[in-house]
Structure 1
């Protein structure tokens, strides 16, 4: 997809990867309609790129939020891309999470994403070429202790992307699923950063992640898994999950210790 002719609706732009992605898409000539609840961060992007970025403030967990975004998308005109990047996580043992935290995570990471996609699809289908980009996680392929609820939502997003790609195979809408590994963003609690340091887990720079997403958009790839050896572990987990079980079992005491730290 040519960035100079791209008009994307994008969620999650207030985060680290999201802001970097906005910068790089705008540098390539794309135009963006940003959706979110955090007006200050998004307004700053509008001020930086006034000729390329518009804003729709809405809560995607509410029906009226979807209505507002759909109206903005229609006014935006010739929408040929949707980037689903909004999401939250929580590092904690499942028994230490409360019901509302789990419900909020599912509502934003899964339900809001599916519903927004459903609303926007008719607009994408009007174009000669359109792209739907779902940004997931390595944890959408590898169940990891301390992230059981988050993994559940990302497994759902990966399955949604795969099924929708097959459902739209006879249309001009292509589906791209991107799975970053650990990234240096404010989404990660201090305990997660400390755990990754102990385990010597590499955390990518958001700008580097954004560059790879942009390249995948330009090439209209179907799937992109980021980071080595993480993408190798994804393949190992799909073929020989017991090997991953054994490896994570050795890490479990350390993971449990950090998961019990209050953020």
Structure 2
């Protein structure tokens, strides 16, 4: 079912992986997508394929850059109904292999960026969506649910994102903004290819297009309820 043409959405981390899959499917369904990413080249590929995608190159861990982008979005006439936070990064290995710079980089890319986007998005939706519901969809990881060897810092980031998500949901209770947590297992994306996942393990990972479909199916609007958390597991073969 196509979205009404006046509906706008935001996707962070839109240049690749699940963010790109969500952007493509949302644009195909009739939404106008504000696609946020660090990579101009990756965004350009989306723009050439989908007319209803507007790209924004931004470092989401920089408060000034986030503010500039959302100031531009505030000039759009129609309200924003959904904000998908898919941006993030990860490095893996024994705890002794990390240094302060690496840890801070992961804090910025995962936790700080989610907080800054949520802060800006809430302000945007409160001003724009006086008669429309809005939703913050925080895409995290199964690493936010269980500890994993050689993922100590990554798990810490995702558990932090989960705590922020659950506290924000309570804070926004009774408003017209819902908060949804998404916890997918590993996907066949460059994220895991770049982190040296064994080929046989990678082949068992989920396809981002299918994960995007499950997320969007669970976000269908109902009068008396909504899906608060979406856990997506791969099928073991």
Is this a same-fold pair by TM over 0.5? yes
Q: What TM-score comes out, normalization by structure 1 length?
A: 0.80
SS in structure 2 of the partner of residue 33 of structure 1: strand
From 163, 167, 171, the counterpart of 2:167: 163
Query: 1-side partners of 2:188 and 2:194: how far apart?
Result: 11
> Paired residue for 1:11?
12
Larger gyration radius, structure 1 or structure 2: 1
Q: Which residue of 2 aligns with 1:137?
A: 141
CA distance in 1, matches of 2:235, 2:229: 17
- Matching residue of 1:154: 158
Pairwise CA distance, 1:2: 7.5
- Contact map agreement 1:9 1:73 (CA 8 A) in 2: no
Separation of aligned partners in 1, 2:157 and 2:200? 21
| Secondary structure in 2 matching 1:133 | strand
Report the counterpart of residue 218 of structure 1 in structure 2.
Answer: 220
Q: Kindly state the Cα deviation for residue 69 of structure 1 after the two structures are TM-superposed.
A: 1.3
User: Offset of 1:216 from its aligned partner?
Assistant: 1.8
Aligned to 1:173: 177
Q: Give the TM-score, by structure 2 length.
A: 0.88
Relative distance call for 1:23 and 1:229 in structure 2 (3 A) is closer
Q: Is the 8 A contact 2:187 2:205 kept in 1?
A: yes
**2:161 aligns to what SS in structure 1?**
helix
In the other structure, the counterpart of 1:58 is 58
1:26 deviates by 1.4
Give the Cα separation in 2 of the matches to 1:172 and 1:161: 16
Q: How far is the alpha carbon of 1:157 from its aligned partner?
A: 1.1
Say if 2:23 and 2:35, in contact at 8 Å, map to a contact too: no
User: Greater share of helix residues, 1 or 2?
Assistant: 1
Preserved contact between residue 32 and residue 54 of structure 1 (Cα < 8 Å): yes
> Aligned runs of 1:41-190 on 2, under 5 Å?
41-50=42-51, 52-77=52-77, 78-126=79-127, 127=129, 128-189=132-193
Q: Is the 8 A contact 1:56 1:68 kept in 2?
A: no
Matched, 1:193 2:194: no
Q: How does 1:195-210 map to 2 (within 5 A)?
A: 197=201, 202-210=204-212
C-alpha contact (below 8 Å) 1:110/1:157 kept by paired residues = yes
Q: RMSD across aligned C-alpha pairs, in angstroms?
A: 2.2
Q: Distance in 2 between matches of 1:16 and 1:164?
A: 26
**How many angstroms apart in 2 are the aligned matches of 1:53 and 1:138?**
29
Counterparts in 2 of 1:91 and 1:195: CA distance versus 1, 3 Å: farther
CA 1:190 to 1:11, structure 2 compared with 1: closer, same or farther past 3 Å?
A: closer
Structure 1 pair 143–229 and aligned structure 2 pair: CA distance change class (3 A): farther
Total equivalences in the alignment: 227
- Paired residue for 2:32? 31
**Inter-partner Cα distance in structure 1 for 2:91 and 2:200:** 15
Cα distance, 1:113 vs. partner? 1.1
Shift of 1:195: 7.9
